[in-house]
Amino acid sequence: MNENHTFEQRLAIAKGRRRTKILGLSIILFSINADLITLLSYTEAEISAFLIFKHLFRFLATVFLVISTYKGKNWARIILIICFSLAILLAFFMFFVLLLSDITTLKKVLSVIISTFLIYGLSVYYFIFSLNFKAFFKEQQNNNQ
């Protein structure tokens, strides 16, 4: 951390670091949870090597993007914002489609849909608007140069 920072700047950077770690861990844990729920919803006959590889790739890509964002890579932050925004829109669409057609399935996946709104919604808000994240992110970018 730069010694020329004021106390308030150092505090914002420390808060941003801590909150980014917590949010990153939440994103990774949610990704594991969503992948497991999805894989467990398939029958044994439906599970294939491709399906397992697809979910493993998705999980590893999420971990890579979260770590890259933590390290101050702006391209990773932008990709996460875009992917999470699309996931929120898809969850919103799925909620209404299932609400109008299949309440039984909606009851099964409602926790995943609500978690998607919460985790990804907070992530998008945090990565775009949080002053603590901006201070931490700028510090990470300066350290990488």
Write the pLDDT tens digit of every residue in 27-50: 999 999 988 888 887 888 888 889
Q: What is the mean pLDDT of residues 104-132?
A: 91
pTM: 0.90
- Count Cβ neighbours within 10 Å for each residue of 18-47 and write b for 16 or more, e otherwise: eebeebbebbeebbeebbeeeeeeeeeeee
Q: Which of 8-17, 46-55, 85-94, 128-137 has the lowest mean pLDDT?
A: 46-55
Q: Which two tokens stand for residue 93?
A: 């669409």
What is the crossing angle of helices 131-144 and 7-41, to 10°?
Answer: 100
Predicted confidence band at 107 (pLDDT cuts at 50, 70, 90)?
Answer: confident
**What is the Cα–Cα distance from 120 to 122, expressed in whole angstroms?**
5
